[in-house]
Every structure is written in structure tokens, then in C-alpha cells.
Amino acid sequence: MRIGLGINYAGGFKEVASEVADLERAGVDIVFVPEAYSFDAVSALGYLAAVTERVELASGILQLYTRTPTLTAMTAAGLDYVSDGRYILGLGASGPQVIEGFHGVAYDAPIGRTREVVEICRKVWRRERLEYQGKHYTLPLPADRGTGLGKPLKLINHPVRERIPVLLAALGPKNVELAAEIAEGWQPIFYLPEKANDVWGEALAAGKAKRDPALGELEVYASPTLAIGEDVEPLREFVKPHLALYIGGMGAKGKNFYHALATKYGYGAEADRIQELYLAGKKEEAAKVVPDELVRDVSLIGSAGFVAERVAAFREAGVTVLNVLPIAATPAERVKLVEQLRELV
């Protein structure tokens, strides 16, 4: 089992670069750079590529709608080049709050667009002349929709790899099925090992049944919060506002993927109450409703023995990468947590 870690996208690149180098020495295998509506992820990934040697670098995630498929492919090829073949293309649909609110782009057909973007990216990396007829993307643009001067082109540069690993962030059954079919990796959120098969097992099996063997086994990236010690259980309270934000605030009633996930985990009544409070502006009250058991089971917060047991549960459920969020006040403490976790995995 490998260890990943996401950097804080609200900070500056220079502040995290030296820390990432220390984390690399401590045993981190993958560093994820998110892209919300702060600085772009690509600049940070390029910066980190220059100051690291071994660690893989992943976008966590590039948003599906904010770049054309070919620009996504070019960007991935460029990042793979500057990192000497260490880049993982993390893709996801994000949500309408960001896509429509910040980018002004319609949030539509995420499943169909995901498939087509991945297909186009792989054609670009193989340096094929781009002739693609999809439902959402057509290359080159036909004459009745443009000037008629567009011609099939291929990437000028020779990529380091013609198959850059693709990681898809997905929650819903159709999205998860697609990830299991076409991607090298799948990243769920709030992964609860004991309930994962009940929630996603059928979708994963359906996707894997159509999977190209050349893709290898599907990597599963869970993202638990991490704290190890004899008296760290109170730190679980820090996880609750984050869960409440997603369960309660990421979408209207009936259109919140994370609320649906909590309900499938068996916390439907609590999810309803969290959403009711959060949408009413009562964020602190909503956080208090988040069940202690849910926080405990989706996190790695406790004694070394407890964390070792939970790591075993994640491994048994099929997780191959623990993309952790350490609760620590200083970079040195984060490095120590990674070293402790490395001993347990």
C-alpha cells in the first residue's frame, strides 16, 4: 500500500516546496495538487517537479470542463515531461457550484464527457492525427460549425509516455463504473471500508468486466484524515465541519452526491438533518450532527494500534493508496506522521 498526500491549495508554491521534499524523504509516494478556485494546479505541479526526484505528482483534480480535451492532454504530456514520467492525470467533474459559478460553463453530461476526454487524451499521447467524432467533442471542427479550415493534427512533441496514468474522481454508480472500465485509478471520497462494497461493489464489477487488461489492476485511492497518538481522538472533531460542508452544502436537496453517499452508508436521517441545518446557514450546528462513528470509520485518527487496524481494513477493502490529510501544526509534525504511517503500512 502506497502513501499519498495533498498539498494545501490555498497556500503558495514556495511555502510547500521544501516541505514536499521532506515528505518525499519520509516516504510519501504521491503528492496531489488540487484545483478548486485558487491558483491553478498545473503551475504548482511544474514547480514541484523541479524540486523533487522520486515522488509521483498528481492533479487532484483537474476539472473536466475548464480545459479542452486536447489542452488537458497537452498539459499532462508537459507535466509528465518536466517530471521525467512521474505525473498522474487526475480528472473529475467537480460540481456545478464551481463549474458554473466560477467558470461560467454549463455543468452537463459528466459521464459522457469524461469518456471522450480520456479517449482524446490517449490519442494525443499516441501522437495520432486527431479525427474524433463524439457526442460532446468533434475534431477537427466541421465546416458547418467553423471556418472549414481545421485539419487533423497530431502532437508535435514526443511524450515521455504514450499512456499517462489517468485517475478519475467518482462517486455515483455510473461514474464509478466508468472509472473501473477506462482509468488506471479511482478516487472516491469519504471511503468507509466496511460499507464500500455495498455502495460501489456492483458498479466496480460492471466496469471491470469491460476493462482493457492492458490497463492493469485498478488502483483505489482513499483519502482519510490522519493523526496517530494515544490521546488524539478529540481531533476527530476537526473532521466534522468538512463532512458537514459536503453532506450539507455541496448541492441542493436531491442533488447532493455526498448526502446520497452518507445515506447509503446508513446515516440517512443524520444526513437530512445536516443538510437542513447547513442550508439554513447553521454550519456549526450541522457539524455537531455528523455521527462520531462516521468520522471514526472514514479516518485514521487514533492510537498506533487503532490506525494499524484501520489500515488493514482499508487494504482488505481493496485500497491501494492512502492519500492522507495529516492533522499537524507544523511541517515537521506532518513529516513525523508520514513516517509513523509508513511503519504501519
Domain ranges in the chain are: 2-226+299-343, 230-298
Cell numbers placing 332 = 515537521
DSSP codes of every residue in 266-299: T-HHHHHHHHHHHHTT-HHHHHHHS-HHHHHHHS
The x, y and z cell numbers of residue 200, run together, are: 460501489
Q: Which helix (H) or strand (E) holds 3?
A: strand 2-6
Query: Do 20 and 48 contact (CB within 8 A), yes or no?
Result: yes
**Nearest CA to 35 among 3, 10, 71?**
10
Taking each helix axis from N to C terminus, what angle separates 304-316 and 331-344, rounded to the nearest 10 degrees? 60
Residue labelled with grid coordinates 517537479 = 49
Q: How far apart are CA 251 and CA 13, in angstroms?
A: 30
Q: What is the pLDDT of residue 10?
A: 64
Q: Locate all alpha helices (DSSP H) within the chain, ordered by sequence.
A: 13-26, 41-51, 69-82, 96-99, 110-125, 173-182, 193-209, 240-244, 257-264, 268-279, 283-289, 292-298, 304-316, 331-344
The DSSP-derived string for 122-173 is HHHHTT----EE-SS-EESPPGGGS-S-------SS--S-SS--EEEE--SH
User: Residue 14 has what pLDDT?
Assistant: 78
Q: Check: pTM over 0.85? Answer yes or no.
A: yes
CATH 3.30.1460.30 at 2-226+299-343, yes or no: no
Say which residue the cell 473501473 belongs to: 180
Contact between 98 and 177 (Cβ < 8 Å): no
Q: Which residues contact 249 (CB under 8 A, 6 or more apart)?
A: 275, 278, 279, 283
Quote the Cα angle for 93-177-139, to 5°: 55
Q: How many CA atoms lie within 13 A of 107 on its CB side?
A: 15
25's CB contacts (< 8 A; 6+ apart) are none
Mean pLDDT by runs of 10 across the 345 residues of the chain is 86 79 93 91 94 95 96 98 98 90 95 98 98 97 92 97 97 96 97 97 98 97 97 97 95 89 97 98 98 98 98 98 95 94 95
At 16 the pLDDT is 82
d(CA 62, CA 42): 9
Beta strand 321-326 pairing with 2-6: parallel
